[in-house]
Chain A
Amino acid sequence: MILVMKENFSNSRDTFRLGRSKVETFINPAGFIEQWFSGPQKPESLIHGVEQLVKKAKKINARSEAVLILVDASSVPKIDGTGQMAQARKVAVKAMKSAPYNKIAVYGNLAVQIMVNTLALVAGRRDKVKVFADRTDALRWLKSRK
């Protein structure tokens, strides 16, 4: 029985690996879309992660439910600020502008916070995308009515 449940759970979880980059996307028991980034990210992993978020957001939105997204980037050691990641960041900005969602809370180190906030600035979505240093604050905002 336990084995079957594990299998069902893993079926709903998308895992992407490329070298040391890993991205997992799933809908957690509270109904949020949750995404975990770990390791130094590559353009392919970031783009895949964004595509998964959009896919799952559309699915939840189709059921007329609130789309809340929680992104854990606390295990990303550093941000690649070079032009190599520019295309991936462009995809993220586009998704921030056009995907159906109510709120996105991202938590991670200062470099992650700065990058996500800058992308939200470019997308004009600073009201819907917020960054935090830890999970508790991110969840608190995500669950609030603000």
Chain B
Amino acid sequence: MEDLFADSRLRKLPKGQIVIYEGDSVDHLYYIVNGFIKVYNILSNGSERTIFIYGPDDLFPFTSYLSGSGVARYFYESIAETEVYSISPKRLEQKVRGNFEIGEALIQYSNSVSQQFIQRIDILSVNDARRKIIALLAFLATKTGNDGDISTLSIPLTTQDIANMCGLTRETVSIQLARLRRAGIVSGGRSLVIDTVKLNKLKPALAIHT
């Protein structure tokens, strides 16, 4: 997919830049070279709910662009210094037209992202705090961690960040993280270190499919 953006402009986004606002019509599509973009909405009480995180080799907001409305359903914000290629939908259409292989790659990619989105939204709707946090850590280890049994997350996270990502209070997150630390599943400071082997053993019993 990177080839689609080969002649596109490379943009550097500082940490904390909102690239797309909820309700914006999609006038650019982005490919992440490095860095991370969080996808979130704002609840009626003003709190933020992180739905998803895009990382290197991800394309956004592709699902919004190809949905019937063509309007962004969430906010998209860089959570680290991020480099992206951007392309206009018109240019993308020119590149995809007649190219069945690229079309297939896009279908398979968007299908996989949609499933991850659904899993995240499903987890956000459950009431079990432990399940929410374990599912989030598994998701973060996949998206932002290094490969291997012991995964260090690339994004520094505060307890409040994790609370926002799970829809929990900071206090609840602190209690659950302390338990996971005692079990040797989580260690480290703001850059969390996760023992993915131990974490994965917990997933089936909690019906987590991330």
Binding site for B on A (CB under 8 A): 79, 81-83, 86, 89-90, 93, 107, 110-111, 113-115, 117-119, 121-124, 126, 130-133, 137
Interface size on B, residues (CB 8 A): 22
Contact assessment for B103 and A113 in the assembled complex, using a CB-CB cutoff below 8 Å: no
Q: Is the interface of B mostly helix, strand, loop or mixed?
A: helix
Contact assessment for A132 and B104 in the assembled complex, using a CB-CB cutoff below 8 Å: no
Contact assessment for B111 and A79 in the assembled complex, using a CB-CB cutoff below 8 Å: yes
Contact assessment for A122 and B114 in the assembled complex, using a CB-CB cutoff below 8 Å: no
Contact assessment for B97 and A133 in the assembled complex, using a CB-CB cutoff below 8 Å: no
Q: Show 10 residue pairs from A and B whose CB-CB distance is below 8 angstroms, ordered by the A residue.
A: A89-B103, A107-B68, A111-B114, A114-B66, A114-B114, A117-B67, A117-B68, A118-B96, A118-B103, A124-B93
Question: Which partner residue on chain A sits nearest B96 by CB separation?
Answer: A121
Among residues 45 to 93 in chain B, which have CB atoms less than 8 Å away from a CB atom of chain A? 63, 66-69, 92-93
Contact assessment for A93 and B103 in the assembled complex, using a CB-CB cutoff below 8 Å: yes
Q: Is B110 an interface residue (CB 8 A)?
A: yes
Contact assessment for B108 and A122 in the assembled complex, using a CB-CB cutoff below 8 Å: no
Docked Cα-Cα span, A79 to B112, in Å, equals: 10
Q: Is B204 an interface residue (CB 8 A)?
A: no
| B66 proximity list for chain A (CB < 8 A) | 113-114, 117-118, 121
Q: Is B189 an interface residue (CB 8 A)?
A: no
Docked Cα-Cα span, A113 to B107, in Å, equals: 11
Least Cβ–Cβ distance between B140 and chain A, in angstroms: 24
Docked Cα-Cα span, A82 to B108, in Å, equals: 6
| B107 proximity list for chain A (CB < 8 A) | 79, 81, 89, 114-115, 118-119
Least Cβ–Cβ distance between B168 and chain A, in angstroms: 27
Q: Is B148 an interface residue (CB 8 A)?
A: no
| B110 proximity list for chain A (CB < 8 A) | 81, 114-115, 118
Binding site for A on B (CB under 8 A): 63, 66-69, 92-93, 96-100, 102-104, 106-108, 110-112, 114
Q: Known pairs A81-B110, A122-B103, A132-B68. 10 more at Cβ < 8 A?
A: A79-B111, A81-B111, A86-B104, A89-B103, A113-B66, A113-B68, A114-B63, A115-B110, A133-B68, A137-B68
Contact assessment for B103 and A119 in the assembled complex, using a CB-CB cutoff below 8 Å: yes
| B97 proximity list for chain A (CB < 8 A) | 121-124
| B63 proximity list for chain A (CB < 8 A) | 110, 114
| B102 proximity list for chain A (CB < 8 A) | 122
What are the nearest 5 A-B pairs in CB distance? A81-B111, A122-B103, A117-B66, A124-B97, A114-B66
Contact assessment for B114 and A110 in the assembled complex, using a CB-CB cutoff below 8 Å: yes
Contacts A81-B108, A82-B108; is A113 near B67 (CB within 8 Å)?
yes
| B67 proximity list for chain A (CB < 8 A) | 110, 113-114, 117, 131
| A131 proximity list for chain B (CB < 8 A) | 67-68
Question: Which partner residue on chain B sits nearest A115 by CB separation?
Answer: B107
> Of residues A93, A107, A111, which shows the largest number of chain B Cβ atoms within 10 Å of its Cβ?
A111
Docked Cα-Cα span, A79 to B107, in Å, equals: 10
| A110 proximity list for chain B (CB < 8 A) | 63, 67, 114
Docked Cα-Cα span, A115 to B62, in Å, equals: 12
Docked Cα-Cα span, A114 to B67, in Å, equals: 6
Contact assessment for B99 and A81 in the assembled complex, using a CB-CB cutoff below 8 Å: no
Contact assessment for B93 and A126 in the assembled complex, using a CB-CB cutoff below 8 Å: yes
